[in-house]
Structure 1
Amino acid sequence: MLRTASRLAARTTLVQRRRASRVVKVKALPFDLNTEALLRNAFSEQDISPTNIELRQRSSGRFNGAASLTFDDVDEATKAFRRLRHDGVEIGNRKVEVAWGTTPFEPEPEPTREELEEDPLKVLTRVLDERRLPTLDQIRAEMLQNDQHDIVREARFPGLIMGEDEVDEEPPQPKKKKVVDPSEPLGKWAETIVKINRVQKVVRGGTIMRYRALVVVGNLMGAGGFAYGKGHSPRDAVARASKAAKRDLRFVERFRDTSLLHDVRGKHNNCIVDIYAKPPGSGIVGGPLGRRILTQLGFSSFTIKARGRRTPYSYCAAAFDALSKHRSVEEIARSRGRRILEIEHAAARHARSPFKA
């Protein structure tokens, strides 16, 4: 509402200033030395007598094809403007354009220190008392008089004109969804960078060099995974590999949170990995990569042995293939029709579990 009132007040002030002007602009004049004489002859035929005719010039001093007509009275200027607008003027077989000009006015004096320190409410009250601002009736009358053409056109063609206050608002921006890592509820993660190497892709224009990283992750509670990741830098490759490994997790049920319940074997290509179950507290026996993989999953008592072509990826794939074959106490008891306590006691009595998957 305040914005509408301010727009109406500004528009009314502009219209009042134009109507109070004694200057009429004439554009599109021919570039002739006798332009002023031609103007006076044309105006005399239409009974228009301006007191002064000023030819506009550019900064270079050349005539720019426009002139300002100054009249003694506002009524004379309005009468001349309407006549020129209705009948038209041709100078040198060329129809000129007519527009309102602005009357030079004196700049307002700068406010004093007392006026600047005055309360804004008092300033507004004083301005209203002095009737500097137009009333609502004046604004309504000016708007109806100046927008009569738009009102008629809106009545004939409804919906064709959209006012300033009817502009559609910007659509609400969609709220950004909070991306939650699905692996966060599984606790903190331990990561091991198994290998980083540089790879090249041959294209028509040459080769594209990137980095490839193999990463193994685990949460020390039986969940883990491994994956490859590529990037333009080693850090980018490691980050992508870690994210891919967390999207492809494998869960292994631990026996008393430390060891395996039975021996397992996994294979990938020509690499064979055997993981032997040991009672809790027996310690770790195996190579560095196998120890690291099982430790990150939360195992602290086991023996791991690998045979064949032990490349890093084949070793990791064979180790997780072996862990995927591990069965929990509940699964073994259900398959054999035994009690869970019997299976647990039997597994704890033996150095190596006699149960096989």
Structure 2
Amino acid sequence: MAEQRQDRGNRGRRDRQEKPKDDSGLTEKVVFINRCAKVVKGGRRFSFSALIVTGDKLGKVGVGFGKANEVSEAIRKASDSAKKAMVKVAIRENTIPHDVIGEHGGGRVLLRPASPGTGVIAGGGVRAVVEAAGIRDVLAKSLGSSNHANVVKATIGALQQLRLREQIFETRGLTVKKAQA
């Protein structure tokens, strides 16, 4: 009985695995691995799905989802998918420029800038995405759904909404000097 409880207590906590890739400078984090069972005549057939976050810690991050009959193959597929789906993120002095809320499905994520030395105050999938992007100081809160895929995609959506002051002035046709005067 105690053995069973120990196995169940670690289910779904896969976000601590990080593999630094030396060939391209990318880091990968396994956020979640799901095991699915199909009952067939001879017993159960297991298949796996993996949710991976990849980033260069310099402002580029991507998320990938892969399915296969073996865990390693699912992770490889998800990793390839994440590399193809990388997006650029606006970062200012190791934090984000402003507050932002990202939504995807039922998942909502609130991100707030933090003062230097605060660290990453976030959990699970949000932490994986933010650290892979290279953000070192941020406050985060996951609102709504706790579905790993939706939370990670909501975090990516929130990071894509970020704009630096210079970018906003440029779209309005202003310069930084005019606005400060």
TM-score norm. by structure 1 comes to 0.40
Residue in structure 1 matching 2:142, options 275, 294, 306: 306
1:94-133 to structure 2, matched below 5 A, reads none
Cα deviations across residues 303-342 of structure 1 (Å, max 9, x unaligned)? 1111111111111011111111111333212134443468
Distance 1:273 1:340 in 2: 30
Specify the code of the residue in structure 2 equivalent to 1:339: T
Show CA shifts across 1:32-73 (max 9, x none). xxxxxxxxxxxxxxxxxxxxxxxxxxxxxxxxxxxxxxxxxx
Aligned match of 2:99: 263
Task: Give 1:141-152 correspondences, 5 Å limit.
Answer: none
Partners of 2:119 and 2:35 in 1: how far apart? 37
Q: More strand by proportion, 1 or 2?
A: 2
Query: 1:129-278 to 2 correspondence within 5 Å?
Result: 187-200=24-37, 209-256=46-93, 258-278=94-114
Counterpart Cα distance in 2 of 1:251 and 1:302: 17
Compute the displacement of 1:292 (Å).
Answer: 2.4
**Structure with greater helix share of residues:** 1
- CA deviation map 1:126-175 (0-9, x unaligned): xxxxxxxxxxxxxxxxxxxxxxxxxxxxxxxxxxxxxxxxxxxxxxxxxx
Task: Name the CA distance, whole Å, in 1 between partners of 2:135 and 2:24.
Answer: 16
**Larger gyration radius, structure 1 or structure 2:** 1
- Counterpart Cα distance in 2 of 1:342 and 1:273: 34
> Cα offset for 1:208?
5.4
1:201 deviates by: 5.8
* In structure 1, distance between residues paired with 2:150 and 2:111: 15
Higher RCO structure, 1 or 2 (CA under 8 Å, sep 6+): 2
Corresponding residue to 1:323 among 156, 159, 164: 159
Match of 1:334 among 153, 170, 174: 170
Q: In structure 2, what is the Cα distance between the partners aligned to 1:218 and 1:235?
A: 20
Residue 228 of structure 1, CA deviation: 1.1
Query: For residue 294 of structure 1, what is the aligned residue in structure 2?
Result: 130
Q: Counterparts of 2:118 and 2:175 in 1: how far apart (Å)?
A: 26
Q: Which runs of 5+ in 1 are unaligned?
A: 1-183, 346-357
C-alpha contact (below 8 Å) 2:126/2:140 kept by paired residues: yes
Q: Which residue identity is paired with 2:145? A: R
Matched to 1:253, the amino acid is A
Q: Secondary structure at the match of 2:166?
A: helix
CA deviation after TM superposition for structure 1 residue 283, in Å: 2.9
Report the 3-state secondary structure (helix = DSSP H, G, I; strand = E; otherwise coil) of the residue aligned with 1:235: helix
Identity among equivalent positions (%) equals 29
CA distance in 2, matches of 1:342, 1:227: 42
Change over 3 Å in CA distance of 1:284–1:197 after alignment to 2: closer
Change (3 A) 1:288 1:230: closer
Amino acid at match of 1:234: V
Q: For the structure 1 residues 334 and 279, does the alpha-carbon distance in structure 2 shift closer, same or farther, using more than 3 Å as the test? A: farther
SS at match of 1:227: strand
The gaps in structure 2 that reach 5 residues or longer are: 1-20
Q: Would you say how many aligned residue pairs link Structure 1 and Structure 2? A: 159
- How many angstroms apart in 2 are the aligned matches of 1:228 and 1:289? 13
* 8 Å CA contact retained: 2:31, 2:128: no
What is the SS of the residue equivalent to 1:259?
coil
Sort the Cα spacing of 1:279 and 1:213 in 2 relative to 1 into closer, same or farther, 3 A. Answer: same
CA distance in 2, matches of 1:340, 1:207: 63
